[in-house]
A and B are shown apart, each in its own frame.
Chain A
Amino acid sequence: MALLTIRDLQTGYDSHTVTPKLNFTVEEGDYLCIVGENGSGKTTLMKTLLSLIEPLGGQILYGGGLQKNQIGYLPQQTMIQKDFPASVREIVLSGCRGRCGLRPFYSKQEKKLAEANMRRMGLEGFSRRCYRELSGGQQQRVLLARALCATQKVLLLDEPVSGLDPKVTEEMYELIAELNREGITIIMISHDIPAAVRYAGHILHIGESVFFGTTEEYKNSEAGRYFLREVEK
């Protein structure tokens, strides 16, 4: 069952289109990597998928019981967050905010959900620690736990390994792959094409030419061969 069906989608700001017309689907349990050069519109596409900006044309159809606001999101870190005084628990719990509606406080179940997701990300014993004192990898895991509180089905990850060292990068990729094996659909923006080819099941390449298909097809496509060769050089 397709969770997301994208039909002739055009994205951009203030009526300037950034990406060409896109068509692709995301099935339940998929691992999709969106790759492309800087400025090709990866982040704009992601913001459109999250309904942060309106599409300029085309449609995003939700299916398989997925609602508009049930996509978990792992954003790139902002300057504000680097010196933000907040405990790990406060941040993870804030992922439940969307499901509270008008209710001002968190319910018992939501607190349990937050704790379960902290355990899932290996953050036991961190709940009272201050976010700004954690390492880059730990901070990403906190934000991942928060994203898991907001969704049961789909995670959108925006460059989840940027700024991490090689060892932590590898651990992060393994963690994401593990979540995917547990049944969570992953959509990831990346410019790390070798890793994308290694982990993802599907690739969406945007840029001058658009490619969408399985990773095997991508490896044999013109764009894929070109970029993989570029990286190997």
Chain B
Amino acid sequence: MTETLSLYLAFPLVRYALIVGVLIALCSSLLGVTLVLKRFSYIGDGLSHVAFGAMALAAVLNLTDNMLLILPVTVISAALLLRTGSSSKIRGDAAIAMISVGSLAFGYLLMNLFSTSSNLTGDVCSTLFGSTSITTLKKEEVILCVILSVLVVIFFILFYNRIFAVTFDEEFAKATGVNTELINLLIAIVIAVIIVLSMNLVGSLLISALVIFPALSAMRLFQSFKAVTICSAVLSVVCALSGMLLSILGGTPVGSTIVAFDAAAFVLCYLIGKLRGGK
């Protein structure tokens, strides 16, 4: 088994995939805690469908670099969705549902009408569930992913205290002079960036799992915000790494293997939490 592994690791493509996977898992788990606590678990799902729609549009328009379209579209949708959550005539969850299914349908329609590919079902399936694309990453994509991940981590560290204040009690933070609108906007932008990055890894249907599972697991075990955040980052990286290795060895689809590991970790944490005193 170790032989097969070292054989695979000799390929730069596989090494790229592992680096990108670990970074994406780290970034997606960081804001997961905030999203779960703010009752925004589903925003990941909604945004990834928006990204799917944008990706279909980019394919139809024959853009060479589809990131140029996907990233801005997703960022704008994220900003709009988080805004409607606080005050609007359409409630947050309804807005997410609307935008999410709307862009999913729109994307599939576009792909059906204009696609030049001979294997349409395969294309759609791989964008939805993630796929081979992680092992066919180009070097530029890896570099882009590394840069964006580093930026996300730096943002999170610098804004950690502000993110905590806004998550725990937005009104108090606003009343005592924290610029909550700006923080919310920044969080929205970062989430959008993370979603677009993770599409390569797990596909747009499974992204929510990457965002919420580590946070929920960590919340079973730890009692302070800092401990929960660190634990969810560690869990997420460990699960992503083991999921990817298993999928290389066993030939299983990458995205669903990682999510299976995340789910198993959650069950484990849940049981440990129960055993420690049924909280």
Contact = CB atoms under 8 A, between A and B. Distances in A.
Interface of A: 47, 50-52, 68-73, 75, 78, 80-81, 84-87, 90-91, 93-95, 97-100, 104-106, 128-130, 133, 146-147, 150
B201 to A, nearest CB: 27
Given A80-B38, A97-B162, A75 B177 contact: no
B225 interface: yes
A69 B279 contact: no
A104 B106 CA distance: 42
Contacts, number: 94
Contact of B279 (A87, A104, A133): A133
B175 A73 contact: yes
Interface stretch (B55-63, B165-173, B261-269): B165-173
B178 A97 contact: yes
13 contacts: A47-B171, A80-B37, A80-B39, A85-B228, A94-B164, A94-B165, A94-B169, A97-B161, A97-B162, A104-B159, A133-B223, A133-B279, A147-B172
Given A69-B177, A98-B173, A98-B178, A105 B161 contact: yes
Contacts of A71: 175-176
A90 B226 contact: yes
Given A80-B38, A86-B223, 13 more contacts: A52-B171, A52-B174, A52-B175, A73-B176, A80-B37, A85-B225, A85-B228, A94-B165, A95-B176, A99-B176, A99-B177, A129-B223, A130-B223
Contacts of A150: 172, 176
Contacts of B37: 80, 84
* Shortest 6 CB-CB contacts between residues of A and residues of B: A69-B177, A130-B223, A98-B176, A98-B177, A87-B224, A50-B175
Contacts of A81: 168-169
Given A81-B168, A104-B161, A90 B177 contact: no
B161 A100 contact: yes
A201 B107 CA distance: 65
Contacts of A97: 161-162, 165, 173, 176, 178
Contact of B175 (A69, A80, A90, A128): A69
Interface string B24-54: 0000000000000111000000000000000
Nearest to A86: B225
A90 B224 contact: yes
Nearest to A105: B161
B7 interface: no
Given A94-B165, A98-B178, A130 B224 contact: yes
Contacts of A128: 224
A71 B172 CA distance: 10
A146 B172 contact: yes
B147 interface: no
A87 to B, nearest CB: 4
B219 interface: yes
A52 B159 CA distance: 22
Nearest to B175: A50
A118 to B, nearest CB: 15
Contacts of B164: 86, 90, 94
Contacts of B178: 97-98
B30 to A, nearest CB: 15
